[in-house]
Amino acid sequence: MRVVYFLLRFALGCVFLAAAWDKIVDPLAFAKIVRNYQILPELLVGGVAQVLPWIEVVVGMCLITGLFPRGASFSATLMMAVFLAAMAWAKHKGISTQCGCFTTKADDAISARTFIRDGSILALALLVAVDSFLRAKRA
């Protein structure tokens, strides 16, 4: 079970690192996508677009190394839930925007595919989080 837990955590960490890369390379493009969701006030868009990818990096690194396992898996779950809610909001409002999930380029529009992909990552994060908390309780 230990190996399975490690593999799941490692995989989730890699997903978060991969997701952060494009946003760090082109923060302005990511900021435009965040703005296009029309959820945050414009004052906050720049800050969120810069801090969020680095939180993803830290969470990804923590998941891979096993440092702060509960904090990292909880953050991962929370972020995925927020991302999914934001996509659902955009879909509901009829805003045709880029997902801004893994790339800032214009080929990742919100669709059933992005919902299934992010939903699966949320399920994975939830699994890792539950396991991390249970392990900490047993320790």
Q: For the chain, give the number of residues.
A: 139
Cβ(12)–Cβ(95) below 8 Å: no
Structure tokens at 89: 């909001």
Q: x/- string (CB under 8 A) for another protein, residues 116-135?
A: --------------------
CA triplet 75, 22, 19: central angle to 5 degrees?
A: 30
Q: By CB under 8 A, name the one of 36, 39, 40, 127 that touches another protein.
A: 36
Q: Which stretch binds another protein (CB under 8 A): 6-14, 34-42, 81-89, 110-118?
A: 34-42
CB of 103 to another protein, least distance (A): 14
In this complex, which beta carbon is closest to another protein, that of residue 11 or of residue 46? 46
Nearest-10 Cα torsion for 115, 88, 21, 29: 130
- For residue 99, give the H/E element and its range: none
In this complex, which beta carbon is closest to another protein, that of residue 36 or of residue 91? 36
Q: Is position 58 an interface residue for another protein (rule: CB under 8 A)?
A: yes
Q: By CB under 8 A, name the one of 17, 57, 126, 127 that touches another protein.
A: 57
Q: How far apart (Å, rounded) are the C-alpha atoms in residues 72 and 77?
A: 9
What residues contact 68, with CB distance under 8 A and at least 6 apart?
Answer: 62
Q: In the complex, which residues of this chain contact another protein (CB under 8 A)?
A: 24, 27-28, 31-33, 35-36, 38, 42-43, 45-47, 49-51, 53-59, 62, 68, 70-72, 74-75, 94-98, 106, 136, 139
